[in-house]
Amino acid sequence: MPRDYLKKATLTAQSHATEVHDTVKTILSDIETGGDAKALEYAEKFDKFDGNVLMTQDEIDAAIALVPEKLKADIRFAHDNVRRFAETQKATVSDVETEIVPGVVAGQKAIPVDAAGCYVPGGRYSHIASAIMTVTTAKVAGCRHITACSPPRPGEGVAPAIVYAAHICGADSILAMGGVQGVAAMTYGLFGLPRANILVGPGNQFVAEAKRILYGKVGIDMIAGPTDSLILADSSADAHVVATDLVSQAEHGYNSPVWLVTDDRALAQKVMDLVPQLIDDLPELNKENAAAAWRDYAEVIVCDNREDMAACSDEYAPEHLTVQAEDLDWWLDRLTCYGSLFLGEETTVSYGDKATGTNHVLPTSGAASYTGGLSVHKYMKIVTWQRATREGSKPIAVATARISRLEGMEGHARAADVRLAKYFPDEQFDLTADG
């Protein structure tokens, strides 16, 4: 029996994807040519901010003094969790070496990139957690210089809680600049900052497009679209909890898809009845985002059984995947495509977004089919090395010469020939391609 779409999206995350490209490309080009002055010009235009863009220690201290102690404690709690998880992840990557053949040793080294640029959204919402997620992982990875960049508010500057989070998590510099101009400033090394080797962190469609265009000139965590979430629920699920979780993610933005996949039609219908009520109870700005996301991007899908539910989920490859169903171990073993997985009613995407310790910078728009989210590994280059004794290099040189000639790469072959001639002048080798 085919899947039944009780609710089908009328738009997709890519519906308006091309509209910002030309604008972003122009801004990046202007700033690359015009440097600090042009970046400040765009900051005044878009950020409506004419204050100091590279925060001084006195400004950082003054902002920190404005943060309530209870909020500071919550930020420290979340930071500790993210740091511990990042340290555990880093421990999975180590320098190794192995003797490939007698006398030839090859190895691997994990080297952190030198400078990281961490973008922290600060427009409608102050994304405190994004500062924690991006700066902490860069610090644990061992980056020498970390810049936290966040949009300032007119007449105020960067939100004090973001400043505090970036500071305690290890940011070396805090840049009060938003949007494309902030991303460009980190990339091009403006205002005395080192050029970023990698740009990380979420942002609006302009920030995401800037990162996409700059990719190659600088590394990025991933090419990101609007945040998305999928819930797998069976008859054991609580419809009110499911509906609440869907609404909690829809409030991210007007184009944030949320999906419910279930094998229980009655549950699906109940959730669909509850969601509009829960949206209507939100504060006005949150309500506006969630209502548009639910109306235009949400889907509710009824499948025959749990295997089809899992297959459907893997096809969507959601950024956030929640399972509210029986036999959680089965789902953990079966599911393969997601940015982060939340097993059982006792956890929720909101936990991961803010304080659990796993990172909330995750692949969107189906990218979870081929990549994971931000981690210490994103800031680290896994490089290789080798060394050899003369005797150990002999069979390598012979094979290299023959393979190179078969490929038509005579210069490569001669790099092997010259070593064989130097190290083993009294020996004869068959180095022809045809043997």
Active site residues: 319-320
CA distances to 90, 150, 193, 252 from 160, rounded to whole Å, are 30, 11, 22, 21
Residues 6+ apart with CB under 8 A from 114: 143, 144, 145, 194, 197
Which one, of 346, 83, 79, 26, lies nearest residue 209 by Cα? 26
Which one, of 192, 97, 81, lies nearest residue 385 by Cα? 97
Map residue 290 onto helix, strand or coil. Answer: helix
CA distances to 24, 224, 370, 380, 402 from 14, rounded to whole Å, are 17, 11, 18, 30, 49
CA distances to 96, 139, 311, 377 from 362, rounded to whole Å, are 29, 19, 21, 13
Please say whether the beta carbons of 151 and 177 come within 8 A: yes
DSSP run (H or E) holding 20 = none
Q: At what angle do helices 69-90 and 128-141 cross, to 10 degrees?
A: 40
Please compute Rg for the chain using Cα positions.
26
Say how far apart CA 65 and CA 84 lie, in whole Å.
Answer: 27
Please say whether the beta carbons of 374 and 361 come within 8 A: yes
Say how far apart CA 166 and CA 10 lie, in whole Å.
Answer: 39
Residues 6+ apart with CB under 8 A from 311: none
Say how far apart CA 115 and CA 143 lie, in whole Å.
Answer: 6
- Residue type at 204 in one-letter notation: N
Identify the DSSP state of 83: H
Which one, of 387, 400, 393, 386, lies nearest residue 423 by Cα? 393
Which one, of 400, 388, 339, lies nearest residue 101 by Cα? 388
Say how far apart CA 16 and CA 373 lie, in whole Å.
Answer: 24
DSSP run (H or E) holding 262 = strand 258-262
